[in-house]
Each structure stands twice: as structure tokens, then as C-alpha cells.
């Protein structure tokens, strides 16, 4: 909650906050508000942290101005009166080297008093903590500011004081926001006798001494051309003392230009503007579709993860335009499993006055989305073939997201399987399913996989021993989504997916390497029955194992039960299985041999203790804890006492 106190504006009556004459009217009394804690911390970090490039402040102010123009352009389709008297949209930058001020002026949607208080006095909760933590750790905030929607505050990197005057389209009231970034801001409305500014927003920076060069025309022009050359609103520059306006950009839409007419530098600049990303795009998809539906597409696949990649809302970041008019930046155009894409889709067929409600069920938009999805997957497949190294980086960043499509879009499964890459037990790098199938062992009829929390945890699991002994390749699935898509996947290239921890292993048909043998095991049929009797309902069955090579025991899921990893995810954290597991015992293990040999003898009295200890051992190997630690400790103590006493 912010605190509020009334203040009196002490500026001269003949000066407005935008630095121009005000027809002799002073601003009325205003209110002082204290910034929320997150904003105060952010401002402190921005002012005192070391940045490699402070130029980003102007990029962010221009980007905000462009967004305001695009929003008003959209609203004016339904309400033409909102732009009555305006001769198009533009962004004006005013530089005054002598006064050490810089202003960014737009004739966009503007803000009400309440919107200025909310937008300029608080930070949206989503991602705030992550942003502040990363800003604390990194010395270069350039790649972070745009991603987290806090660009306005970057102005305090170069300004001792910031003044914002804004008038909402359709309103006859203008509001003034001022702050020195030291913990509070002031809000006031222009008086009824004041000459109201035009619709839009003026942001005026009183530059600090070490940032005075930002009021020079050459500096402004350089920054705009470097960072904002492809903003879809014209940008002009006015220097104090000069009447002539200098055009810096023409506001032409890059995505409607032919691909051959766009340079790599222009693509990168536009990627930075539209996506708020400042890495190198790994893939650019630029084309125009003609036929039943006409639309232009300019999309980018980042080379690094956006901060909100796993946001619970899973919102996309592709902007939707209709005939160069901005419609929405969160339209459900592409599936959630392509949410890492950044860019623009511009339709020629949708009506300009389409509402957000209509967007969710519009057949034209649905058809466009399907067409764009197909093209993106096709371009990714081409990248995988032509530039495996770059594609590997894409997969490492976004593979976990793309695999959501294996579960959510069965009709896209074949396309996604061609893109999917996996870590396995027999290869150092990433492997495709085609690579896997090409190296199947004789008599191998399935694609084996193991689920787990990490590669290291999976590799340590006893269920893999028999597969390793036979040189069988096993997919290591460690992303949370793996447990879901693999259950519904029928298979690849005629080979079904089979978990190493579910059902019978059926490894007897696959030969062991020369010199190794599966024979020599004890007759454990009687021991299995005794262990099952001692454990009761804790296990579905106790049986001899072909998947174990060295360990004494392991737990697996029944033939028609859930995989062990899936069981854990579905048990909602209470640690109890939905289905009792199968306990497999290794006939070739020394402990199992000894227990089997003592059946019916003096050692049979300890079988019950041994059964519970073996079950607890199997749970530990499975990444769990004994289901009854006190009972486990007591049984272990009795066996140790008996062994030492003997």
C-alpha cells in the first residue's frame, strides 16, 4: 500500500511540466505517493548498478510510445472520434542540449490519473522477483529490461528527474506525474483554465550531468537508428532552436517487405523491438501466405530462454495485426507449446473491429494458426538438417516446451518426433529417434525409456542394469512433461515406447555380450513366495528379474500400471502409490542366493525381516525413503545383532 500526502506545485505559473508556456495557469495541488518496495529497489539498482550500455532507456521510451499509438489505432477503428483532428500517428523526440532535457512525445492512447498511478508507481507482479534477482546478479541490464516490462524506469539511469504529462483519448483532463526516483512521485491534474495538451503522452527527462550527451541530436539519431529503426510508427526529431523536423524512421512495416529486401541487421533490430529480446535469433521465419487466406508472417526463434517461458499462464508473445493495424499481443494464435516464438502475424482477412472474444473462436484465425504452426515446424526441421549445431541450442532451450505438443497435439506428433532430441545411456550428445531406431539391437522390438528427476538419478537406477549389460540404448527422460506424453505416444517408426520400470523386461531374447551369462542364478521361486507372504499388500508380486545385473532388488510397475515416475507425479506428494508395485529380485545376487539357500532351515525365521529390509532397500534405490523408518531400523538392528552374535 502506498502512502499519500498533499503537496503544492512550486513551479512558476508561466511554465508547464512539458517546458512550454501554459497560458498563465499554474498546476493545482497534487498528491505525493511513495513507490512500492519493488519499485524502490529497482530504481536503486538501475541508478547504482554498472550497465554496459545506458542507451537502452531511449529504446524503452520509444517502444512504450509506439505501443500507445498502436493501441489508439486499434480503438479508433470502432471509435473514429478518438483520433479526430489527428493527421496520423507519430513519435516526436525533442532534444535541448542547453537545458539538458530530452522529451519523448506520442499521440497515442494516453493515460488517466489512475492509470498513471498504477502504471508508473508499481511493477506488475509477474516476473518482478525474478527480474530483480537477475538484475542484482548481472552487471549488464540491457538484455533484461525489455523482457520484464519495466522499461520506463530505465529513464532514471540518465535522469535526475522525470516528468510525464498524459491525456487519455476521449478525456478532457490531463495528469502530471513527476519523480526524482528517490522513493516517491507526485500526481496532479492540470487546472481547468490550463491549455490542455493534445491526446497522448509527453515524457520529459531532466538529464544528469554525466548523461548530458543524450540531449545532442547526433546521439539521439544514433540510438534510434540502432534500436528503434523498425518501430511501426514514424519517429521525428526536433532540436531546440531549429524549426525543421528531422525524420529518423518512416514507420514502414518490415514484415510486409519482400524477404530479399531485408538485411540481417534489420531483422535483428526488429527482433529486439518486437520481442524484447537482445540475443541473436536462432531462426527467422519470414513469408507471405496467399490463397484461401492472405497473411504476412515474421517470426523469430530466440537462442536463449525468455524469463517467462514456464509462466503458468503459458501465454504467447506473437503480435496480431490486421492490415498493419495492431489488434492484440496475446491472441491465442499459436499453440502454447510454441510460446517461445516472438514476432508478428498480419492478416488481410480478419475484420478490423474484431473483438478479443471473437478472436478466441474465429475460424480464419484458427486456419492461420494451423498454417503458421506447420510452417514453423517445417523450418525447424530444415534447421535441424542444415545446421545441427544451431538446432541443438534451440532444442536445449525449448525442447521441454516443444514436448508439451506431443501430449497436447496428437495430430502434430509425427512432426514433433522428427524434431525431438534425447539424451541416452549409450551416447554423449543428443540423439534423434531416427538415430535410435537405426541402431536397434537384434531382436529388439521397442524403444526403451527411463523417467527420472535428473540424468544422474536415472543412470543410477537399478532398473537399467540389465539394459546396460546388453548394450541396449535407453532414452533418459528427465523433463516433467515426459511422464505425460510418453504414456499416450503409440510409438515411432512402428516401434512402441516401453518403460524400463514397467512390466516384464522381456530381455531374455536379447543376447548378453560374449563372456557374460544370465545363468547361474539361484532357484528363487520359494523365496519369492515367502517374501510376498511377508510383505502382503505392499507389493503386487515378487518375481525373479532379468532387468537386474548386480543389485539385489528393484521396484517396477505392474504390466498395466503407471510407470514408477508417473506414479510419483500422480500420487500428489503423499508418497503412496496408486497401485502396489512389483518387487523384482536378482537370482544372481549373492544376498538373494544366500536367502534362497537358507529357505526351510535355521535362517527361515529371518525371512520376514529380510523381506521388509529388501523392500525398503528397493524404495531407497527408487529415490524414496522406507515407508516405515522406525520399523526399518528395528528390523535392521535385529539382523545385525543376530549376525554379530553368531
- Residue 17: all three cell numbers together: 511540466
Distance CA 11, CA 24 (A): 12
199: domain CATH number is 3.30.565.10
Binding site per annotation, positions: 60, 64, 106, 111, 119, 126-127, 147-152, 201, 356
Q: Are residues 564 and 577 in the same domain?
A: yes
* DSSP code per residue over 1-35: ---EEEE---S-TT--TTSS--TT-----EEEEEP
For residue 284, the enclosing domain spans 254-395
Please count the other Cβ atoms lying within 10 Å of the Cβ belonging to residue 616. 22
Same domain, 245 and 273: no
SS3 content of the chain, % helix, strand, coil (to 5): 40, 20, 40
Q: Which of 219, 249, 279 is where one domain is finished?
A: 249
Residue 632 shares a structural domain with residue 575: yes
Judgement on whether residues 242 and 341 belong to the same structural domain of the protein: no
Q: Sheet harboring 246-249: ordered strands across?
A: 4-7, 30-34, 184-189, 174-179, 159-167, 200-207, 101-106, 91-96, 235-239, 246-249
Q: Is residue 500 part of a domain?
A: no
Q: What is the dihedral of CA 432, 435, 440, 446, to 10 degrees?
A: 30
Q: What angle do CA 470, 471, 477 make, to 5 degrees?
A: 115
Residue 464 resides in a domain = no
User: Do 289 and 352 share a structural domain?
Assistant: yes
Contact 235, 91 (CB under 8 A): yes
Q: Which of 201, 229, 22 is nearest to 104 (CA)?
A: 201
Beta bridge mates, 206: 101, 161
Question: Domain check: are 203 and 270 in the same one?
Answer: no
In order, the DSSP letters of 282-293 are SEEEEEEE-SSS
Is residue 491 situated within a structural domain?
Answer: no
pLDDT at position 6: 44
Sheet holding 541-544, edge to edge: 541-544, 582-585, 553-556
Q: Is residue 96 part of a domain?
A: yes
Answer yes or no: do 15 and 154 share one domain. yes
Inter-helix orientation angle 217-227/56-78, to 10° = 70
> What local confidence, expressed as pLDDT, does residue 478 receive?
94
What is the tally of structural domains in the chain?
Answer: 3
Residue where a domain stops, chosen among 185, 215, 249: 249
What radius of gyration do the chain's Cα atoms show? 33
Please indicate, yes or no, if residue 181 is contained in any of the structural domains: yes
* CATH number (domain holding residue 568): 1.20.120.790
User: For residues 299-329, b (16+ Cβ closer than 10 Å) or e, as one string?
Assistant: bbbbbeebbbeeeeeeebbbbbbbebbbbbb
**Segments in 18-157 forming alpha helices (H):** 37-48, 56-78, 113-121, 128-137, 142-145
At residue 123, the pLDDT reads 56
What is this structure's pTM? 0.70
| Shared-domain flag, residues 153 and 195 | yes
Domain-located, residue 236: yes
Binding residues for ATP: 60, 64, 106, 111, 119, 126-127, 147-152, 201, 356
pLDDT, tens only, 448-474: 999 988 999 899 999 999 999 999 999
The low-confidence residues of the chain, meaning pLDDT below 50, are 1-28, 50, 124-128, 131, 139-149, 602
- Supply φ then ψ for residue 460, to 5 degrees: -85, -5
Give the pLDDT confidence score for residue 514 in this predicted structure: 62
Are the C-beta atoms of residues 395 and 431 closer than 8 Å to each other? no
Reference 341, options 293, 405, 389, 414; nearest CA is 405
Element (H, E) at 201: strand 200-207
Spatial separation of the C-alpha atoms in residues 60 and 261, rounded to whole Å? 27
Set of cell numbers at residue 564 = 514408477
CATH code for the domain of 363: 3.30.230.80
Question: Residues 299, 239: one domain?
Answer: no
- The H or E element that residue 205 is part of is strand 200-207
What's the gap between Cα 468 and its chain centre?
Answer: 35
Together in a domain, 306 and 350: yes
Residue 424: inside a domain, yes or no? no
13: CB partners within 8 A, 6+ apart: 22, 24, 25, 26
Domain final position from 191, 224, 249: 249
Cell of 352: 478490423
> Do the Cβ atoms of 329 and 275 come closer than 8 Å?
no
* Residues 123 and 235 placed together within one structural domain of the fold: yes
Classified as helix, coil or strand, 72 is helix
pLDDT at 27: 47
DSSP 495: B
Q: Are residues 178 and 36 in the same domain?
A: yes
Paired residues of 62 in beta bridges: none
Residue 78: per-residue pLDDT: 86
Q: Is residue 605 part of a domain?
A: yes
Amino acid at each position: 500500500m502506498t502512502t499519500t500526502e498533499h503537496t503544492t506545485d512550486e513551479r512558476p505559473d508561466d511554465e508547464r511540466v512539458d517546458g512550454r508556456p501554459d497560458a498563465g495557469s499554474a498546476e493545482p495541488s497534487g498528491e505525493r505517493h511513495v513507490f512500492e518496495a519493488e519499485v524502490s529497489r529497482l530504481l536503486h539498482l538501475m541508478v547504482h548498478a554498472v550497465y554496459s550500455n545506458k542507451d537502452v532507456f531511449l529504446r524503452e521510451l520509444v517502444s512504450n510510445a509506439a505501443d500507445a499509438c498502436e493501441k489508439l489505432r486499434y480503438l479508433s477503428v470502432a471509435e473514429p472520434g478518438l483520433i479526430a483532428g489527428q493527421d496520423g500517428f507519430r513519435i516526436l523526440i525533442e532534444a535541448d542540449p542547453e537545458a539538458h532535457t530530452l522529451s519523448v512525445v506520442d499521440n497515442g492512447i494516453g493515460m488517466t490519473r489512475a492509470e498513471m498511478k498504477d502504471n508508473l508507481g508499481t511493477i506488475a507482479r509477474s516476473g518482478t522477483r525474478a527480474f530483480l534477482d537477475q538484475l542484482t546478479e548481472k552487471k549488464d541490464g540491457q538484455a533484461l529490461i525489455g523482457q520484464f516490462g519495466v522499461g520506463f524506469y530505465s529513464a532514471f539511469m540518465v535522469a535526475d528527474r522525470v516528468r510525464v504529462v498524459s491525456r487519455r483519448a476521449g478525456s478532457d483532463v490531463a495528469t502530471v506525474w513527476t519523480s526524482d526516483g528517490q522513493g516517491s512521485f507526485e500526481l496532479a491534474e492540470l487546472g481547468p483554465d490550463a491549455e490542455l495538451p493534445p491526446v497522448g503522452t509527453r515524457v520529459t527527462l531532466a538529464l544528469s550531468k554525466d548523461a548530458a550527451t543524450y540531449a545532442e541530436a547526433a546521439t539521439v539519431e544514433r540510438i534510434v537508428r540502432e534500436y528503434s529503426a523498425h518501430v511501426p510508427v514514424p519517429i521525428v526529431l526536433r532540436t531546440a532552436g531549429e524549426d525543421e523536423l528531422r525524420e529518423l524512421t518512416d514507420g514502414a512495416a518490415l514484415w510486409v517487405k519482400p524477404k530479399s529486401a531485408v538485411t540481417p541487421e534489420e531483422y535483428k533490430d526488429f527482433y529486439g523491438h518486437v520481442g524484447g529480446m537482445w540475443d541473436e535469433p536462432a531462426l527467422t521465419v519470414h513469408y507471405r501466405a496467399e490463397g484461401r487466406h492472405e497473411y504476412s508472417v515474421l517470426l523469430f526463434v530466440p537462442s536463449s530462454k525468455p524469463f517467462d517461458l514456464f509462466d503458468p499462464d503459458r501465454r504467447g508473445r506473437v503480435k496480431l495485426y490486421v492490415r498493419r493495424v495492431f489488434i492484440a499481443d496475446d491472441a491465442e494464435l499459436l499453440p502454447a507449446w510454441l510460446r517461445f516464438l516472438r514476432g508478428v502475424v498480419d492478416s488481410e482477412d480478419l475484420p478490423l473491429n474484431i473483438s478479443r472474444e471473437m478472436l478466441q473462436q474465429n475460424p480464419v484465425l484458427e486456419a492461420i494458426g494451423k498454417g503458421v504452426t506447420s510452417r514453423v515446424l517445417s523450418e525447424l526441421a530444415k534447421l535441424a538438417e542444415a545446421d545441427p549445431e544451431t538446432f541443438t541450442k534451440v532444442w536445449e532451450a525449448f525442447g521441454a516446451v516443444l514436448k508439451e505438443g506431443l501430449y497436447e497435439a496428437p495430430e502434430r506428433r509425427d512432426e514433433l518426433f522428427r524434431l525431438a532430441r534425447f539424451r541416452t545411456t549409450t551416447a554423449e550428445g543428443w540423439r534423434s529417434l531416427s538415430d535410435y531406431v537405426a541402431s536397434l539391437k537384434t531382436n529388439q522390438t521397442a524403444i526403451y525409456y527411463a523417467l527420472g528427476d535428473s540424468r544422474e538419478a536415472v543412470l543410477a537406477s537399478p532398473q537399467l542394469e540389465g539394459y546396460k549389460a546388453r548394450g541396449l540404448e535407453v532414452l533418459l527422460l528427465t523433463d516433467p512433461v515426459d511422464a505425460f506424453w510418453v504414456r499416450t505416444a503409440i510409438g515411432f517408426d512402428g516401434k512402441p515406447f516401453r518403460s524400463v520400470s514397467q512390466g516384464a523386461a522381456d530381455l531374455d531374447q536379447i543376447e548378453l555380450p560374449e563372456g557374460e551369462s544370465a545363468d547361474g542364478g539361484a532357484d528363487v521361486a520359494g523365496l519369492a513366495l515367502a517374501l510376498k507372504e511377508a510383505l502382503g499388500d505392499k507389493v503386487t508380486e515378487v518375481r525373479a528379474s532379468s532387468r537386474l545385473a548386480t543389485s539385489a532388488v528393484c521396484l517396477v510397475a505392474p504390466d498395466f500400471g503407471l510407470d514408477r515416475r508417473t506414479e510419483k507425479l500422480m500420487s500428489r506428494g503423499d508418497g503412496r502409490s496408486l497401485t502396489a508395485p512389483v518387487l523384482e529380485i536378482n537370482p544372481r545376487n549373492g544376498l538373494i542366493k544366500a536367502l534362497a539357500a537358507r529357505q526351510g532351515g535355521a535362517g527361515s525365521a529371518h525371512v520376514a525381516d529380510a523381506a521388509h529390509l529388501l523392500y525398503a532397500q528397493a524404495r531407497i534405490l527408487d529415490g524414496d525413503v522406507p515407508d516405515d523408518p522406525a520399523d526399518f531400523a528395528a528390523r535392521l538392528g535385529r539382523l545385525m545383532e543376530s549376525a554379530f552374535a553368531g
